[in-house]
Every structure is written in C-alpha cells, then in structure tokens.
C-alpha cells in the first residue's frame, strides 16, 4: 500500500506460499483479487519468470566481478533491483519506474560501483589512530540516508 496505490490483482502460481487461508483473507480485506495460474506451468508466469532470471544473472555478475562472498547475495539483489527501478523501460514509454513514481528523473551521477573499495568510518580508534577502515561498497541503506 505504498504511495497510496491499491493492488487490484495479485497473480501467483499454486506453490503453497500464496495459497493459505490467512493470505487469502488478507487479499480480500484489501480488495485484491487473487488469480492463480495453472499448476506446473511456469510459462504462464512469463514476465515474472524472465525478471527472476534477469535478477539472478545480474546478481551472479555483481558477486563474481566484485569477488565478494556469496552470502552477500541479498545485498546484491537489492542493488540490482535498485538499478532496475532507475533504468528506462519501453513498458513506461522509455521512462524509469522511479521517474513515473516521483515525477523526476533519478540522479545516478555519483553512483559507486558495487563492490568497489571504500573507507568506512570507525568508532573503535584512539585519538591518533586512523578513523576509517577498508571496506567494500554493497549498496544504500534503506533505513537511513547513507551507504
């Protein structure tokens, strides 16, 4: 219900995570119609399946190029999604989802490369010690205005 929008239809396969009574009641309470695809036919989920493959490929590329450990896959997926929402698409007449939502183009001018070397502020130092340690950039902090 972000940005005062209402989801009219929710389409999913018949895998158990979206078919429980509690979830169905929740959708009904929000006025959302739940549409289920035919069992064992992932081709009916074409757009979503394609997006999932694209996100997975880009996530693997980020992890491989940065030489960071696989346990950072969640941060990599968040960054891939962040970039996708700031990339133009034909579905939106060559505008970005960000632009459609906020009515202004995203500013990517100072975007760091995922996994690049950075200095991280350290609080565990004495007066004369370095105030930063070496680190790798893995994305923006959604809860604070930072990285």
What is the distance between the alpha carbons of residues 116 and 137, in angstroms, rounded to a whole number?
Answer: 5
pLDDT of residue 99: 94
Alpha carbon distance 124, 127 (integer Å): 10
Q: What is the pLDDT of residue 2?
A: 63
Structure tokens at 16: 């158990």
The pLDDT value recorded for residue 116 is: 93
- Give the integer Cα–Cα distance in Å for 14 and 3: 29
pLDDT for res 135: 92
Determine which helix (DSSP H) or strand (DSSP E) holds 76, and give its type and residue range.
helix 73-84
Residue 78 contacts residue 126 (beta carbons within 8 Å): no
How far apart CA 118 and CA 68 sit, in angstroms, is 14
**With a cut of 70, which residues of the chain have pLDDT below it?**
1-2, 42
Q: Please report the pLDDT score of residue 5 as a whole number.
A: 74
């Amino acid at each position: 219900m972000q940005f005062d929008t209402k989801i009219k239809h929710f389409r999913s396969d018949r895998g158990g995570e979206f078919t429980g009574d509690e979830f169905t009641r929740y959708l009904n309470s929000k006025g959302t119609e739940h549409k289920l695809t035919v069992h064992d036919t992932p081709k009916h989920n074409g757009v979503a399946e394609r997006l999932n493959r694209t996100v997975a490929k880009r996530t693997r590329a980020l992890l491989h190029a940065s030489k960071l450990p696989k346990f950072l896959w969640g941060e990599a997926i968040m960054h891939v999604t962040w970039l996708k929402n700031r990339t133009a698409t034909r579905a939106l007449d060559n505008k970005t989802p960000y632009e459609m939502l906020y009515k202004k183009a995203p500013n990517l001018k100072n975007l760091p490369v995922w996994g690049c070397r950075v200095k991280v502020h350290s609080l565990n130092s004495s007066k004369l010690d370095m105030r930063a340690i070496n680190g790798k950039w893995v994305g923006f902090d959604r809860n604070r205005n930072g990285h």
